[in-house]
Amino acid sequence: GGESPCSWHEKVLTLDTMNPCVRRVEYAVRGPIVLRALELEQELRQGVKKPFTEVIRANIGDAQAMGQKPITFLRQVLALCVHPDLLNSPDFPEDAKRKAERILQACGGHSLGAYSVSSGIQLIREDVASYIERRDGGIPADPNNIYLSTGASDAILTVLKLLVAGEGPTRTGVLIPIPQYPLYSAALAELNAVQVDYYLDEERAWALDVAELRRALCQARDHCCPRALCIINPGNPTGQVQARECIEAVIRFAFEERLFLMADEVYQDNVYAEGSQFHSFKKVLTEMGPPYATQQELASFHSVSKGYMGECGFRGGYVEVVNLDAAVQQQMQKLLSVRLCPPVPGQVLLSMVVSPPAPSDPSFAQFQAERQAVLAELAAKAKLTEQVFNEAPGIRCNPVQGAMYSFPRVQLPPRAVQRAQELGLAPDMFFCMRLLEETGICVVPGSGFGQREGTYHFRMTILPPMEKLRPLLEKLSQFHAKFTREYS
Amino acid sequence: GGESPCSWHEKVLTLDTMNPCVRRVEYAVRGPIVLRALELEQELRQGVKKPFTEVIRANIGDAQAMGQKPITFLRQVLALCVHPDLLNSPDFPEDAKRKAERILQACGGHSLGAYSVSSGIQLIREDVASYIERRDGGIPADPNNIYLSTGASDAILTVLKLLVAGEGPTRTGVLIPIPQYPLYSAALAELNAVQVDYYLDEERAWALDVAELRRALCQARDHCCPRALCIINPGNPTGQVQARECIEAVIRFAFEERLFLMADEVYQDNVYAEGSQFHSFKKVLTEMGPPYATQQELASFHSVSKGYMGECGFRGGYVEVVNLDAAVQQQMQKLLSVRLCPPVPGQVLLSMVVSPPAPSDPSFAQFQAERQAVLAELAAKAKLTEQVFNEAPGIRCNPVQGAMYSFPRVQLPPRAVQRAQELGLAPDMFFCMRLLEETGICVVPGSGFGQREGTYHFRMTILPPMEKLRPLLEKLSQFHAKFTREYS
Ligand SMILES: Cc1ncc(COP(=O)(O)O)c(C=O)c1O
Ligand SMILES: Cc1ncc(COP(=O)(O)O)c(C=O)c1O
């Protein structure tokens, strides 16, 4: 035949030949709804007429994207480190200069441009250890158990990677909350580990229930080897803050069942509700004494992306490991070294977050005022969100005790559910897509986080500026009412 | 028995239960020799007497750690972006301010603190595309095929991750050069892919030989499914710069054998030798016309860590994909989104590297002078290294045509080899450890990169400042002579 030898040349890498684990990964927070939001923004810029004038991205916990201003002191120190000529400028406070000089001294070649050691700059690991000690009422933290990371995401992926082993019925299973932050499901898919779901209790403000943990674990033991338990506290997307007794019960359970604990505590500074308080797993575990304090393995994660600073773009974070086997810790160190080092500017910001200006420092007053203003506004927005949603028929919203999200439950009429199914969409995806097209409000459907069968939710951040938030919540409620009428 | 139920409680995560792929990872550039160097530095600081007064870390391509100064313009723009109050300062040139404003406009909330889209800021992807077009003599580059990354390391790991599939005899094999940059072997171990070695030809200045590629491929097909071919050009650790004909032959080979090409071109600005010139795989492939230009899959990597800027700590880089299957590209996009985004400061630096000041800009003269000074000094150091080593009996060093390393071959006396074996060390590790202990010079043994059986090498960067480099090279040569006498 006259067929050219090349005309049929297939690609090496296709959907059929690529890594099947990667294919199974899903990541709703940046999924189809966000891609559509980007398109709509572009259409608006091109002058296409829409029933709204701007897209509001309430899909991701990105405070500065929503207009929150960076904390001045953090940026001053970082600017000084980036461009040390500024150390001669009279426009920078003395304490910022001192901090910058101290950090530069600890950098290779006294420059942010050198690779740091893979576990992060030793001085900053020490700063983190002091922070943890202060946070936990004096319980010691060892800098050598602290690894700085490229955002918390990177550290979570690293710890999960260490835990994954086995095949078939011995494959590593990892318990994760439902609803969850979808980094967990994505990482487990990528690593070919088994995702074991435990459900948070919506009726009790998304509390964690050890009986439910036990149910999930027992069922999972039939088909995999559950070896780790992930907790997100304060919760994303659920906004709950765990009570100390609950944490104790979880630790006892993990110890008895021999589960490695992963505590995602990136929202530790984001607690708003009256009566709620953040308790770190490390502190509770230590205060429970032996054998928990001396044997229970724990990894706790923190980040510069959340809290009052919201410095997501810098990709700073850390993990503290507790009771990790020494040989495994060496393996972790080795694994980290392959990626060379976490971004040094993110390390610098982390250092500021864990050792902010002291009351005697010239920058203290302004720093404190900026920090408090952000946290107070977040608390007000958390309250407002709960209140407005709960006034709307067919929407029910648990209190946003902490973190940066509400995760209200919405009633969707059966005909809407049916219509969605015809379109091959999850019903809450259908709702959220329609919401986006008609109002410009971008939220993430509950199906991206997981929810009990037959219930529907969406996640909306509390981050839009106060003056926009109330109209936004009202618009959303009104849209829900209209949507409900349309499909009744 | 009186045994407490807890006394025997074993760890969940041990060497035996952890991820076996991670255990197999090796990463010599930051291996035992570097850990020992860190210890020695600490001992020196504590006043312990040593036969040297400082440890010289010639183990890693980290220019600023070795004293190279950052390029002023890059840091000015970054400082302006980090702390936009500085836009009002008279101390910054007008073009730096313009660049900073342009970038801030493209950031969420006009701040580096917002997450960028996962593939990187669109404006910077466009800047990269223009750079590639200029570099490649006008051959078009599509911004949508460019993904910004957390250093080149991250992008390389991502592309490898996409390629890995199959089990047993269908497991993905990846051809890598020997000697190699050990990121490749580490990544393949971590991903449980098969490392297929092809040897560079030391006798021909580390040239790549297609016959050797063919040998490696044929042998590998017995036990795995080779699907990708990695090239490092200019080479690390070898310093060779590939001729255009060689690149053409490699592309033809890859096309005929259906191999995905990965071109690690992070040293594209580091070419020193008379007659050597950098040719990008993208350019050669495109100029070869169809079917290569239209069908051969390629991923090309670049970084802000090397070149004249050496901004390793910022973790900036990108990959350009060519002829990638559209559906796979979507999968790649999804995979990247799990880690949220590359560090924004690294993106900003990349933007400066790909769109530096133009001749009409106020910063041009200084930028150009700084850039040229670094590159001229690197060229002189490359020459000096080759020359001094080749004057030493028992050391043979190929010309350092490009990149940042020499990889000389050393003769080691049989009794030294025997002694090393008794100690359970690779012979060149034994040599390098002794070198470190006696001179404070830290280099990496050839066994960490791979070498032909029975040959011994070490990798030493050419980065120490000129005034230190000559004494260093001489000290090293003298140590080799002494070591040889000692074991003769
Ligand atoms: C619960 C939780 N963990 C981890 C992360 C990762 O954050 P980063 O990688 O920016 O530190 C997030 C981000 O939203 C989160 O919500
Ligand atoms: C050949 C090669 N590729 C990739 C890298 C990774 O560099 P980075 O992740 O800092 O961009 C290096 C670093 O030394 C290298 O030598």
Supply the DSSP symbol for A457. B
Q: Can you count the helices (H) and strands (E) in chain A?
A: 17, 14
What percentage of chain B reaches a pLDDT higher than 90?
A: 94
Contact A298, A282 (CB under 8 A): yes
Rounded to whole angstroms, the Cα distance separating A85 from B391 reads 43
B157 touches chain A (CB under 8 A): yes
pTM attached to this predicted model:
0.95
What spacing in Å lies between the alpha carbon of B198 and ligand 1's midpoint? 41
For residue A414, the model assigns a pLDDT of: 96
Ligand 1, atom 16, lies closest to the CA of A236
Interchain pair B297, A11: CB under 8 A: yes
Supply the DSSP symbol for A192. T
Instruction: Using an 8 Å CB-CB cutoff, list chain B residues near A161.
Output: 19, 22, 190
Using the atom order of ligand 2, give the atom closest to the CA of residue B153: 9
Rounded to whole angstroms, the Cα distance separating A244 from B423 reads 53
The size of chain A, in residues, is: 488
Element holding A150 (H helix, E strand): strand A146-150
What spacing in Å lies between the alpha carbon of A300 and ligand 1's midpoint? 13
Element holding A129 (H helix, E strand): helix A122-135
Dihedral sign from CA coordinates of B213, B218, B222, B227: positive
Residue B18 CB contacts under 8 Å (≥ 6 apart), including other chains: A162, A163, A165, A328, A331
The model's pLDDT over B194-205, given as tens digits with 9 standing for 90+, comes to 999 999 999 999
Rounded to whole angstroms, the Cα distance separating A470 from A231 reads 31
Rounded to whole angstroms, the Cα distance separating A309 from A370 reads 10
Q: Which of residues 384-443 of A touch B (CB under 8 A)?
A: none
Instruction: Using an 8 Å CB-CB cutoff, list chain A residues near B309.
Output: 113
The model's pLDDT over B308-318, given as tens digits with 9 standing for 90+, comes to 999 999 999 99
Compute the mean pLDDT over every residue in chain B, rounded to the nearest whole number. 95
What spacing in Å lies between the alpha carbon of A153 and ligand 1's midpoint? 6
Contact B66, A109 (CB under 8 A): yes
CATH architecture of the domain with range B115-354: 3-Layer(aba) Sandwich (3.40)
CA distances from B187 to A416, B160, B336 (A): 47, 8, 17
For residue B233, the model assigns a pLDDT of: 98
The model's pLDDT over B287-339, given as tens digits with 9 standing for 90+, comes to 999 999 999 999 999 999 999 999 999 999 999 999 999 999 999 999 999 99
Is the pLDDT at B417 greater than 80? The verdict is yes
B297 touches chain A (CB under 8 A): yes
The model's pLDDT over B227-272, given as tens digits with 9 standing for 90+, comes to 999 999 999 999 999 999 999 999 999 999 999 999 999 999 999 9
Which residues sit opposite A172 in a β-bridge? A225
Ligand closest to CA B156: 2
Element holding A172 (H helix, E strand): strand A172-178
CB atoms within 10 A of CB A452: 15
For residue A9, the model assigns a pLDDT of: 65
A213 touches chain B (CB under 8 A): no
Alpha helices in A340-465 (DSSP H): 344-354, 364-391, 414-422, 427-439
Question: pLDDT truncated to tens, each residue of chain A (488 aa)?
Answer: 333 444 456 899 999 999 999 999 987 766 789 889 989 999 999 999 999 999 999 999 999 999 999 999 999 999 999 999 999 999 999 999 999 999 999 999 999 999 999 999 999 999 999 999 999 999 999 999 999 999 999 999 999 999 999 999 999 999 999 999 999 999 999 999 999 999 999 999 999 999 999 999 999 999 999 999 999 999 999 999 999 999 999 999 999 999 999 999 999 999 999 999 999 999 999 999 999 999 999 999 999 999 999 999 999 999 999 999 999 999 999 999 999 999 999 999 999 999 999 999 999 999 999 999 999 999 999 999 999 999 999 999 999 999 999 999 999 999 999 999 999 999 999 999 999 999 999 999 999 999 999 999 999 999 999 999 999 999 999 999 999 999 98
Is the pLDDT at B2 greater than 50? The verdict is no
Instruction: Using an 8 Å CB-CB cutoff, list chain A residues near B86.
Output: 79, 86
Q: CATH topology for B20-67+368-486?
A: Aspartate Aminotransferase, domain 1 (3.90.1150)
Rounded to whole angstroms, the Cα distance separating B382 from B480 reads 20
**Which among B76, B183, B227 is the nearest to A338, CB-wise?**
B183
Residue A287 CB contacts under 8 Å (≥ 6 apart), including other chains: A139, A293
pLDDT band at B28 (very low <50, low <70, confident <90, very high): confident
Domain ranges of chain B: 20-67+368-486, 115-354
What spacing in Å lies between the alpha carbon of A111 and ligand 2's midpoint? 19
End-to-end CA distance of chain B: 62
Contact A59, A29 (CB under 8 A): yes
For residue B5, the model assigns a pLDDT of: 40
SS (H, E, C) A312-326: HHHCEEEEEEECCCH
Among the listed residues B19, B122, B27, B32, the one whose alpha carbon sits nearest the alpha carbon of residue B432:
B32
Ligand closest to CA B344: 1
- Helices A72-82 and A344-354 pack at an angle, to 10 degrees, of 140
Ligand 2, atom 14, lies closest to the CA of B61
Rounded to whole angstroms, the Cα distance separating A77 from A95 reads 9
Is the pLDDT at B1 greater than 50? The verdict is no
Interchain pair B341, A64: CB under 8 A: no
pLDDT band at B472 (very low <50, low <70, confident <90, very high): very high
Rounded to whole angstroms, the Cα distance separating B77 from B351 reads 10
In this predicted structure, which of A240-244, B12-16, B78-82, B358-362 has the lowest mean pLDDT?
A: B12-16
For residue A35, the model assigns a pLDDT of: 86
Rounded to whole angstroms, the Cα distance separating B152 from B300 reads 10
B73 touches chain A (CB under 8 A): no
